[in-house]
Amino acid sequence: MDDLMNMQGQGHVRLGSSAGQALTRRDGMLKVTGAATYAADNRPDGLLHAVLATAGIAKGRVTHLDVAAAEAHPGVVKVYTPANAPRTALSPDEKIHPFVWRMETLTDDSVRYAGQPIALVLAETLEAAAEGARLLAPRYEAEVPRVTLDDAEPFETDTTAFGRPAGHASGDVDAARSGAARHVTATVETSQQYHNAIEPHAITARWDGDRLEIDTPNQAIGLSKQTFAAFLGIDPSQILLRSPFLGGGFGSKAILYGGQLLAILAARDLGRPVKLVLRRDQMYGPVGHRAPTRQSLQIDLDAEGNIAALEHDTVTLTSTFDQFLESASNASHSLYAAPNLRTSHHGRRADVGTPGPMRAPGEAPGSAALEIAMDAAAQAAGMDPLEFRLKNYAETDPSTGMAFSSKGLRDCYTEAAKLFGWAERSAAPRSMRQGRLLKGWGMGTAQFPCPMFQAAAHATLRADGTAVIETSAADMGQGAWTALAQIAADGLGIDIDKVEFRSGHSDLPDAGVAGGSGHTATAGTALFNAGADAVRQLAELATNDPASPLFGAGNAGVTARSGRLYRNDDERSEPYEDILARAGLDLVRGEGKGAREGEPDRAMFSHGAVFAEVLVDPDLGQVRVSRLIGAFAAGRIVNPRLARSQLLGGMIWGIGMALQEEAVHDRRSGRLTNADLAGYHVPVNADVPMIEALTVHEDDPYVNALGIKGVGEIGVTGTVGAIGNAVWHATGIQPTRLPIHPESLI
């Protein structure tokens, strides 16, 4: 790494020997042996079990709950309904920050969607609580629900998800369109999807006087602590939130939901710890989902096949009582060279739970539609899909005019196409076969932004040469325990085996949000800077000490590696332990921050290219993905093993989005008909016969000091379109709805 006496907060730095290694997960043994403690594994003394009773209709009100029957059941301790539920300090509708949805805490008897909590039952055992919830036998005054894009109520808005603008315009689309040689249109619908992490949402809450201890899987520990405190009317210092392990989150566990607050309020009211674990079917509704979209695109081309204008419009759903709009059209802002660009979003209100961020929010459905439209444009121009994309390659960000911080997309196209064998693709649809099956080859471009949040960290170097690093990071399976420890070890200049990593609870420095593919960059920068700060203090001790071989090295500087400080001018060195011992210190403690200062002056994205092969049964319309190859440029790769795992996971998610995942409503009741993993299909091993993800080397001196981008979400964004285009190539039928149904191909 660079001179650590002058490094912190400056320029681009070189990571040392730990970052870049394909290390196995540091928490792997805990997980495979069952020693990892998840929220639902906690059993404090005096525990009460909570079960939510949920609505069986989508619109109307609850007219009767048989509370007496439920409370008469042996083991049932209390039933909370709108008549007696404890109240929050703030209104359930209070928006104290962009990550707050309406807190559904049994405030009235109205029903706004199927699966909405309508009561909370507390009992000595889980079985008694579940039976008590059944005995409530709710009766309703039902109204006709609206659950689809076609019957929902339209409304106009200036913003989409997280307050982003609902529209964008640059250039003059109408003028460019009037002079264009070719006009290509495409309409693509995407379905409602649900997160379905292995670990369902859960919480264990215990009060000790005025102090609250919470165990709950959470992607935004510091922010959630502040939110809980606000709605409970207590000081944040009175709350300890623990979340050492998450069994998947995908965005849903960054958002608090009413059931968590109800469990906390019940624990305070009853003076006993309370545990609430959602059933699998209760994961469909109260805790967010990806809303369906209907996207219309028009691409106007000049005679040479250059994009003259691009327009992308999205219609999407939100709930009747809150707002989160899937920002799908934004996927067209920064990918292809469109001198005239217009995007828009329109909302519709339906009787469904409020949508929320789900892996690659906006970009996943938006890029799927864009890539299908790009193949249509390539066909209209008489060009190969890859050739067409290269012809319309954006050297600067079309929506802002800014230069990219880095862009290795050309290399991604080259490497993935070569490995896939794209040069052997025949142009005509239905021209390739494998036996009696139709074979199709398709491609899609992947892109995802590189955000950074606010984060803080501590690093303590001890007298024995070991270190403790601390930040409230969230590891939801992406490998944060390992990758962040690698970065911290390099900041400290020691071997990773000497680093103890403490994370996952709110008494530690806030690591920001584990989402948006920004957690490693954000928390990693804070940890590296904390380590560098500790080493800087060591360097000051040594270079000012006449007894040290580093004395007087302040101008030349020192370098840290392998637990020693080295003079940059003549390589004399001294171990950390000797420096601390001579100073009479047991430790030095460094502090670090991770954030992006000011507004960026460059466009910052990860990029990639995905190539897909499908086999389609011409008689049955069944589609199988037989090969899937992607190449990705995502800045500095901290751990190739973990990065590949994340990229493969995203690509597999893309298979599900293209061919399987779809929530289906009964339009009479508004209830989901497939709220389980039997009816809601996701890819399994048999669906992925051959898949590979490559990373392309990319140095980015602008995205952050460490040059780190994100890999958690980009794998989805190119894959869905690649599969859709492969199906089109195999069958000659352009997909207009995702997932692709077999009957649409017959």
pLDDT at 99: 86
Query: Is 684 exposed, middle or buried (CB count within 10 Å of its CB: 0-12, 13-18, 19+)?
Result: exposed
How does strand 76-80 pair with strand 467-470?
A: unpaired
For 645, the token pair is 């795992």
What is the mean predicted confidence (pLDDT) over 398-410?
98
Residue 308 pLDDT class (50, 70, 90 cuts)? very high
Q: Are 447 and 729 in contact (CB under 8 A)?
A: no
- DSSP label at 665? B
Residue 13 pLDDT class (50, 70, 90 cuts)? low
pLDDT at 2: 39
pTM assigned to the model: 0.96
Backbone dihedral angles phi then psi of residue 539, each to the nearest 5 degrees: -65, -40
3-17, 39-53, 295-309, 709-723: which has the minimum mean pLDDT? Answer: 3-17
Is pLDDT at 5 greater than 50 in this prediction?
no
d(CA 54, CA 62) in angstroms, rounded, equals: 11
d(CA 201, CA 263) in angstroms, rounded, equals: 12
- DSSP label at 727? H
Cis preceding linkage at 739, omega within 30:
yes
Q: Which residue has the tokens 């069952």?
A: 34
7-16, 365-374, 549-558, 672-681: which has the minimum mean pLDDT? Answer: 7-16
How does strand 573-575 pair with strand 587-594?
A: unpaired
d(CA 488, CA 493) in angstroms, rounded, equals: 8
Residue 8 pLDDT class (50, 70, 90 cuts)? very low
d(CA 706, CA 525) in angstroms, rounded, equals: 7
DSSP bridge pairs for 62: 140
For the CA atoms of 235, 240, 244, 245, the dihedral, rounded to the nearest 10 degrees, stands at -70
State pLDDT tens for residues 127-146.
Answer: 999 999 999 999 999 999 99
Q: Which residue has the tokens 């690509």?
A: 651
DSSP bridge pairs for 120: 52, 80
Residue 16 pLDDT class (50, 70, 90 cuts)? low
What is the percent of the chain where pLDDT is above 90? 95
What is the percent of the chain where pLDDT is above 70? 98
What is the mean predicted confidence (pLDDT) over 116-124?
98
d(CA 119, CA 85) in angstroms, rounded, equals: 9
Q: Rounded to 5 degrees, what angle do the CA atoms 482, 228, 225 make?
A: 30
- DSSP label at 736? -
Q: Are 506 and 239 in contact (CB under 8 A)?
A: yes
Query: pLDDT: is 167 or 99 the higher one?
Result: 167
Q: Which residues are catalytic?
A: 713
d(CA 393, CA 375) in angstroms, rounded, equals: 14
What is the mean predicted confidence (pLDDT) over 490-507?
96
DSSP class per residue in 229-289: HHHHTS-GGGEEEE-S--S--TTGGGS--HHHHHHHHHHHHHTS-EEEE--GGGGSSTT--
d(CA 388, CA 453) in angstroms, rounded, equals: 36
State pLDDT tens for residues 177-225.
Answer: 999 999 999 999 999 999 989 999 999 999 999 999 999 999 999 999 9
Q: What share of the chain is helix, strand, coil (3-state, %, to 5)?
A: 30, 25, 45
d(CA 257, CA 134) in angstroms, rounded, equals: 22
Is pLDDT at 11 greater than 80 in this prediction?
no
Domains of the chain plus CATH, in order, are 402-451+603-746 (3.30.365.10), 453-594 (3.30.365.10)
State pLDDT tens for residues 579-607.
Answer: 999 999 999 999 999 999 888 999 999 99
pLDDT at 677: 92
Is pLDDT at 232 greater than 70 in this prediction?
yes
The answer for residues whose C-beta is within 8 angstroms of residue 340's C-beta and 6 or more apart is: 170, 171, 172, 173, 175, 176, 177, 308, 309, 310
